[in-house]
Structure 1
Amino acid sequence: MNTNNKILLFLALSFFAFQNIKAQSVYEGKKTKVEKDISAEFPFESKFIELGTDTVHYVESGEGDPIILLHGLPANAYLWRNIIPNIDDNKKVIALDFLGFGKSSFPKDRNVSVEVQYKMLTDFIEAKQLKNVTLFIQDIGSIVGMLYAIREPQNVKGMALFEAPFMPADVMYDQLPFSFKAFMKLTRTKKGNEKWMVKKNFAGKKLAVNFFTGRKLPKEAYPYYTQPWDEKERRYAITNGPDPAVLSYTKGKGESDFATLLDTISNGMKETRIPILYFYARKGLINRKKAVEYAKENFKNATYVYLGKGKHFLTESHPKQMSQKFNEWFETLK
């Protein structure tokens, strides 16, 4: 090997060693595996509330200060089934389905934008007369939840979040995995989005569910995630909501409604003093290493919990650990 090749090899090895050290500092702590014996049952009574022309499905457990659980895409309240019974001691835990998701109604105009879902949440909180709420939020649920915390901080006791887009658009896009970026390109046009989400019913496939959970679910679990998408019309709830795929046009550096939304959220999250509990995993899906680094640099009042191995639906990987850490954190809130 000549001298130039030796130098290049040395530089390459040094670079990878440096990256490994950085990764270890982000993912420090015990590398826990996916928990065993995760229940697939959903033993909760369905409740419904009429909010204007919409019907919202939710489940409720316990009494005390309210904890609102907001799911992401393409999930529903089932995502929280192993969290609810483990954090409802002296707390009122409420998990709801966003409009168009789970058992909630789908607006006739197909409008399930962030602002529409936000209004549903504020109407729900007002109708239920919920005060001093704590938000436990993920993905789309975190977008709506973070906006509520930014706009109505006087009614928010704390927020626990995971797999949440709290970064500026360029930071978010840059740290996404190649597989997600490739899929964003396929779905970034209206035609492409409709092809994959409506015609091909991507969200209703077992393969998609396993992609988000990061593990193979028991057969009893699949219908809870897939059956809501059996009705073709309801699949438009995915295409007509917030659209991160538009970031792929300019790698997050251009202007779009979604980029503007992320700027609003990232600025608000940098300024808020509301206590934050941030769960993350290796490697996650929309919260990779750079997202964790960004959070640690910018959140002012946060507690960080590294869960171990996980993908997007972290409650499908570490529900017991997440519940325990949430309870410990909740006890520190004023």
Structure 2
Amino acid sequence: MLIDFVPDETLYPFESRWFDSSAGRVHYIDEGAGPPILFCHGSPTWSFLYRHIVKGLRDRYRCIAIDYLGFGLSERPADFGYRIAEHTTVLGELIDHLQLDDLILMGQDWGGPIGLGAATARADRVRGIVLGNTVFWPIEPLANRAFSVILGSRPMQRRILERNLLVERFLLGELGGKLTEAEADHYRMVQPTEVARRGLTVMPKEIRAARPLLDQLAQDVPALLGHKPTLAVWGMRDVVFRPKACLPRIHDAFADLDVVELPRAQHFIQEQAPGEIISAIVNRFP
């Protein structure tokens, strides 16, 4: 299943590109020229989340932003499991297909472990890392694990499918005052049906189910990427990945780390502080 939605070119002024991965047809954008930056979104978003950052950086970088299978304009394959490990494999295939070298990778939310999983397997091709409100270790806080249990229950899974709960309540609940109605619709309209939302139902369960992958990343990221120049851009009001819990672990993992605090931003930092993120990336990776 492909999504029958054409983004408004005034909001999303990019050329859609397609890659036939081993699991399904993947949508991505590839804008500008220069050092490549690969942008990895989380749930329940898509490459639209990075639109301001891509517009601000494509005059000096090659900006690539993917939609994972089950998200954005990418295909919803019936036989795909939508697990974090599977998204990581597909992202790695795109990196290889585009022959990306000297790569800067940015990941936020689930985009952190998905992007870092692909990057650890290609560490010699990675120039630097940008992390925003994410983790790459097992998610232990009780509130996060309770969220996983509750959202993984049958009644809440039905609400995700039938009412688009993750978009309406969690994404737009945080960003509703920030977005225009047209922008909000770009998050809604890429998840128009229950079939289209099937990938969304998996993500809350992965907080617990992806523990083996996160255990491995907790070892591999410091060992294979810990010497790479790294930037953390952090929404300091995030209640999902709280800065006091997460930033010390990132400090421990990376020897060459800059941290830029975003004091007014919550979880979806690309919508709330795009200008600060653009400046931070330019300063860190001139």
Same fold flag (TM > 0.5): yes
Partner residue in 1 for 2:3: none
> Structure 1 unaligned runs (5+)?
1-39, 247-256
CA gap 1:109/1:193 in 2 versus in 1, 3 angstroms = farther
Aligned residues: 274
TM-score (norm 2): 0.88
CA gap 1:168/1:120 in 2 versus in 1, 3 angstroms = closer
Partner residue in 1 for 2:257: 302
Distance in 2 between residues matched to 1:70 and 1:286, nearest whole Å: 18
Tell me the secondary structure at the aligned position of residue 310 of structure 1. coil
Tell me the secondary structure at the aligned position of residue 214 of structure 2. helix
Show CA shifts across 1:92-143 (max 9, x none).
Answer: 1111100010000011214112222122112112222222211011112111
Note if contact 1:203-1:226 (Cα within 8 Å) is conserved in structure 2: no
Partner residue in 2 for 1:266: 218
Kindly provide the amino acid, as one letter, of the partner of residue 320 in structure 1: G
Superposed displacement of residue 53, structure 1? 5.3
Kindly provide the amino acid, as one letter, of the partner of residue 261 in structure 1: L
Runs of 4 or more, structure 1, over 4 Å off, are none
Find 1:285's aligned residue among 218, 222, 239.
Answer: 239
Note if contact 2:149-2:205 (Cα within 8 Å) is conserved in structure 1: no
TM-score (norm 1): 0.76
Kindly provide the amino acid, as one letter, of the partner of residue 235 in structure 1: R
Q: RMSD in angstroms over aligned alpha carbons?
A: 2.1
Note if contact 2:135-2:241 (Cα within 8 Å) is conserved in structure 1: yes
Distance in 1 between residues matched to 2:147 and 2:211, nearest whole Å: 18
> Structure 2 unaligned runs (5+)?
1-9
Note if contact 1:214-1:312 (Cα within 8 Å) is conserved in structure 2: no
Equivalent residues in 2 for 1:175-214 (5 A)?
178=143, 183-189=147-153, 191-205=154-168, 207-213=169-175
Superposed displacement of residue 181, structure 1? 5.7
Which range moved further: 211-220 or 86-95? 211-220
Q: Percent identical across equivalent pairs?
A: 25
Show CA shifts across 1:161-192 (max 9, x none).
Answer: 1111223433xx25xxx5x5654332233x24
Q: Does 1:49 align with 2:41?
A: no
Note if contact 2:116-2:221 (Cα within 8 Å) is conserved in structure 1: yes
CA gap 1:270/1:125 in 2 versus in 1, 3 angstroms = closer
Identify the structure with bigger relative contact order (alpha carbons < 8 Å, sequence gap 6+): 1
Larger radius of gyration: 1
Distance in 2 between residues matched to 1:259 and 1:141, nearest whole Å: 16
Show CA shifts across 1:78-101 (max 9, x none).
Answer: 000100021123321111100010
Equivalent residues in 2 for 1:20-59 (5 A)?
41-52=11-22, 54-59=24-29
